[in-house]
Amino acid sequence: MRLSRIMDVCVGSRDEVKASETCELCLQLASDKGLSCFVRGGTNQEVLNSSDIVILAIPFRHLKSTVESLTGFEDKIVISPVNPMEKVDHFVFTPPSEGSAALFLKGILPDSTRICTAFNNISGKRWRSIDEELDYSVPVCGDDHEAKVVVMDLVDKISHLKAYDAGPLSISPLIEGITPLLLNIARYNHLKDLGVRFV
């Protein structure tokens, strides 16, 4: 809903019907609120084929199987908001041996793929509360400077989000590790939907 106000959005799923139903709900909600947007559904491969920027908004446990089932990532900008973590009696950062989800992606995607991390520390509930402004800071890291500029510009167009250049992709473990920290702080201090803001 937020992205489709500023760009054409395609939603992919292994189940094309599920993706289409999600888009229909988004369009109906937008219509009810008098908002203009474009969103359509398709299979993951169809969406990848037609997109310049790909956001892999999936749990880490499904990352490898999803990515390896697709072709055509060459030269595309891929944004990873993925945070590998587990919940025991609290939330724990559980990165792969590469150190982060983003660095794991770097190892399995084509060399020409332009990977950036972004949106890692924003609560899903806040994303869905479209009547509320998002006023978080968004650290963005990546090894391709031009791709990082594109991603930061995208971030800055969404609500009141503010992008910050966090450096190379090797910084991604620090960014991904913030999310379980926020969840633990929220849990132990009876708070909800915490985020990050640099002042």
Global pTM value: 0.94
**Residues of the domain holding 190:** 58-199
pLDDT reported for residue 102: 98
Q: Which amino acid is at 14?
A: R
Q: Give the model's pLDDT for residue 1.
A: 81
Residue 115 pLDDT: 98
Residues 84, 18 share a domain: no
Instruction: Tell me the longest C-alpha to C-alpha distance in the chain.
Output: 47
Q: How far apart are CA 176 and CA 27, in angstroms?
A: 31
CB burial string 10-26: b at 16+ within 10 A, e below: bbbbeeeeebeeebeeb
- pLDDT at residue number 141: 98
pLDDT of residue 32: 87
pLDDT at 136: 97
pLDDT at 139: 98
Question: Do 41 and 64 fall into the same domain?
Answer: no
Q: CA-CA distance, 137 to 167, in Å (whole number)? A: 15
Cα 32 to Cα 181: distance, rounded to the nearest angstrom = 37
Enumerate residues 6+ apart whose C-beta is below 8 A from 46.
10, 12, 16
Q: What is the pLDDT of residue 164?
A: 98
- Would you call 17 helix, strand, or coil by DSSP? helix
- The series of mean pLDDT values per 10 residues for the chain, 199 residues long, is 87 89 87 86 94 96 96 98 96 98 98 98 90 94 98 96 98 98 97 94
**How far apart, in whole angstroms, are the C-alpha atoms of residue 48 and residue 50?**
6
Same domain, residue pair 63 and 96? yes
Last residue of a domain, one of 13, 36, 51: 51
Residues 99 and 182 in one domain: yes
